[in-house]
């Protein structure tokens, strides 16, 4: 039997037989402490987005360039998927060369609004073609990562924001507009901007931006884990949208697989391919869905997700008093609810407006589950309501505004399986008070 005991993070517990469990969530060796490991991003999904963007270009004069119908159709396509996935989306307009341009911003609800992790890519092509590698590849990878965040119902400690920029090909116009209209106080909340422009080149190299060291290391350690050598991206200072953010002091990073430059023989030794251009269709009409290396697209899409999960969940919650119950509680299949309880004591006043609620439920097909936090006075806070479909296990920290609740008392995690076949159990339930 494991005890439900109060313990101060970092303090030595005075209680015998203390059940100590690590922070919930699988972590790879390269992850900072407390980070959750990202899911695999299905490259087939990313390629489907590219096929859709190719169709959009074909239906709009062959391109997706600023000021053309194909660009606005691209914005509408991406926005519709994000709206359906629960994002708060904003289409931001700007004018360039007398023509209206558009940025799309998507915020994932939740997380610390004062610490924003942002990923972005330009969605416009040049006028000569569909722009599938440049930059459907980055746009599709960022889109699919955002959709993966939704599928996982990720509750990161930081706030996640995604951006798709207009008129990059005309001089980073859309991202410059976004940054310029952002109040200084809002800029300072962005702890990282990650840029993805050309990440599926047909003769790929694996380049990591060397701007912010921590972001650079996040990407490098990911590729090291794959056994894929990387090089510092030397071509790009000022050459893509990260420059707009870097110019106002925001930490930036990103990935690149190469454009019109020729791969050296040493790079061929390192990465394979040929000593020709990384992308022979750069800014050409042949930049279509056949102008993609699937392995590079897959690896880089997974690296996008790795960075979002690592940087978005990587900061461990501030030290506080932890009340935890790690006793396993079986969840009966399609039946009555069960609970796991912790008794909170010694805390003055009310619970915080951002109460971290650590939940670890081992259960196949989490779409069966309804999960609630029950305060001592019986108030119910729904944490999970049948979302997630066939995904397995709930393994995350929710943030609940419990400021109207007196802290001390018996808090319960209530779990009910409301569909037949899949089963599981509550593995642990944890509350952390500042």
Interface residues with Ca ion (CB under 5 A) are: 40-41, 298, 302
Cα dihedral angle (32, 33, 39, 41), rounded to 10 degrees? -10
Which residues 6+ apart lie within 8 Å of 182 measured at CB?
none
Q: Do residues 333 and 422 lie in contact, with contact meaning Cβ atoms separated by under 8 Å?
A: yes
Q: Do β-strands 231-232 and 338-344 pair in parallel, antiparallel, or remain unpaired?
A: unpaired
CA distances from 223 to 206, 220, 267, 278 (A): 9, 5, 16, 19
Query: Among 134, 287, 368, 372, which residue interacts with Zn ion (rule: CB under 5 A)?
Result: 134
Rounded Cα gap, residues 202 and 296, in angstroms: 8
Q: Which is nearer to Zn ion, 169 or 302 (CB)?
A: 169
Active-site amino acid positions: 168
Say if CB 268 and CB 274 are below 8 A apart: yes
Question: Count of residues binding ligand DTR (CB under 6 A)?
Answer: 13
Shortest distance, position 64 Cβ to ligand DTR, whole Å: 12
| 134 versus 368: smaller Cβ distance to Zn ion | 134
* Smallest gap from residue 287 Cβ to Zn ion (A): 9
Beta bridge partners of 95: 100
For residues 169 and 372, which CB has a smaller minimum distance to Zn ion in the complex?
169
By CB under 6 A, residue 134 contacts ligand DTR: yes
Q: Which does 137 bind (CB under 5 to 8 A by kind): Ca ion, Zn ion, ligand DTR, none?
A: none
Cα torsion through 310, 312, 313, 314, rounded to 10: 50
Integer Cα distance of 360 and 364 in angstroms: 13
Residue 235 makes contact with ligand DTR by CB under 6 A: yes
For residues 233 and 302, which CB has a smaller minimum distance to Ca ion in the complex? 302
Kindly give the interhelix angle for 294-313 and 138-151, rounded to the nearest 10 degrees: 50
Distance of alpha carbon 10 from alpha carbon 358, whole angstroms: 17
Report if residue 141 touches ligand DTR, rule: CB under 6 A: no
DSSP string for residues in 55-84:
HHHHTTTT--BTTSHHHHHHHHHHHHHHHH
Contact 87, 107 (CB under 8 A): yes
Binds 40: which of ligand DTR, Zn ion, Ca ion, none (CB < 5-8 Å by kind)? Ca ion
Specify the stretch interacting with Zn ion by CB under 5 A; choose among 66-74, 109-117, 193-201, 420-428: 193-201
Please, what is the minimum distance in Å from the beta carbon of residue 241 to ligand DTR?
9
- Which among ligand DTR, Zn ion, Ca ion, none contacts residue 298 (Cβ within 5 to 8 A by kind)? Ca ion
Which residues, other chains included, contact 112 with Cβ-Cβ below 8 Å and sequence gap of 6+?
157, 158, 159, 354
Least CB distance from residue 134 to Zn ion, whole Å? 4
Give the closest residue to 288 by CA, choosing from 16, 2, 55, 37: 55
The interface region with Zn ion, picked from 96-104, 166-174, 180-188, 309-317 by CB under 5 A, is 166-174
What would the two tokens of residue 431 be? 């509350």
| 197 interacts with Zn ion by CB under 5 A | yes
Q: What residue 233 binds from Ca ion, ligand DTR, Zn ion, none (CB within 5 to 8 A, per partner kind)?
A: ligand DTR
Q: Which does 236 bind (CB under 5 to 8 A by kind): Zn ion, ligand DTR, Ca ion, none?
A: ligand DTR
Please report, as residue ranges, which positions from 239 to 298 form the binding site for ligand DTR (by CB under 6 A).
239-240, 256, 259
From residue 162 to residue 181, the character string flagging contacts with ligand DTR as x (rule: CB under 6 A) and all else as - is: ------xx------------
Binding region for ligand DTR (CB under 6 A):
134-135, 168-169, 197-198, 233, 235-236, 239-240, 256, 259
């Amino acid at each position: 039997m494991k005890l439900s005991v109060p313990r101060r993070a970092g303090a030595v517990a005075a209680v015998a037989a203390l059940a100590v469990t690590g922070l919930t969530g699988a972590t790879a060796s390269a992850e900072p402490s407390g980070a959750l490991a990202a899911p695999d991003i299905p490259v087939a999904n990313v390629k489907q987005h590219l096929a859709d963007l190719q169709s959009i270009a074909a239906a709009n004069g062959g391109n997706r360039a600023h000021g053309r119908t194909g660009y606005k159709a691209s914005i509408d396509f991406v926005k519709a998927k994000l709206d359906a996935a629960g994002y708060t989306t904003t289409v931001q307009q700007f004018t360039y060369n007398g023509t209206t341009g558009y940025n799309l911003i998507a915020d994932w609800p939740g997380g610390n609004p004062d610490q924003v992790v942002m990923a972005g890519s330009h969605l416009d092509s040049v006028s000569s073609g569909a722009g599938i590698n440049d930059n459907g590849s980055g746009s599709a990878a960022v889109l699919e990562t955002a959709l993966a965040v939704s599928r996982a119902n990720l509750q990161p400690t930081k706030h996640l924001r995604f951006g798709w920029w207009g008129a990059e090909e005309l001089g980073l116009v859309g991202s410059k507009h976004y940054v310029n209209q952002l109040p200084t106080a809002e800029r300072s909340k962005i702890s990282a901007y990650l840029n993805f422009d050309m990440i599926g080149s047909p003769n790929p190299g694996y380049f990591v931006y060397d701007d912010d060291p921590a972001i650079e290391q996040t990407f490098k350690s990911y590729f090291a884990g794959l056994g894929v050598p990387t090089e510092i991206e030397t071509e790009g200072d000022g050459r893509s949208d990260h420059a707009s953010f870097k110019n106002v002091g925001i930490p930036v990073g990103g990935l690149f697989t190469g454009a019109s430059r020729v791969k050296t023989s040493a790079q061929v030794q390192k990465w394979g391919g040929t000593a020709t251009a990384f992308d022979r269709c750069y800014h050409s009409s042949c930049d279509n869905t056949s102008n993609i290396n699937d392995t590079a697209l897959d690896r880089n899409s997974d690296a996008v997700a790795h960075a979002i999960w690592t940087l978005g969940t990587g900061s461990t919650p501030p030290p506080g008093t932890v009340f935890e119950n790690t006793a396993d509680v079986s969840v009966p299949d399609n039946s009555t609810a069960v609970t796991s309880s912790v008794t909170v004591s010694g805390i003055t006043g009310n619970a915080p407006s951002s109460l971290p609620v650590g939940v670890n439920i081992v259960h196949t097909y989490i779409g069966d589950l309804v999960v609630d936090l029950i305060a001592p006075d019986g108030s119910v806070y729904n944490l999970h309501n049948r979302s997630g479909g066939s995904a397995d296990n709930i393994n995350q920290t929710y943030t609940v505004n419990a400021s109207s609740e007196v802290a001390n008392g018996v808090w319960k995690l209530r779990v009910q399986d409301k569909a037949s076949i899949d089963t599981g159990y509550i593995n642990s339930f944890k509350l952390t008070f500042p």
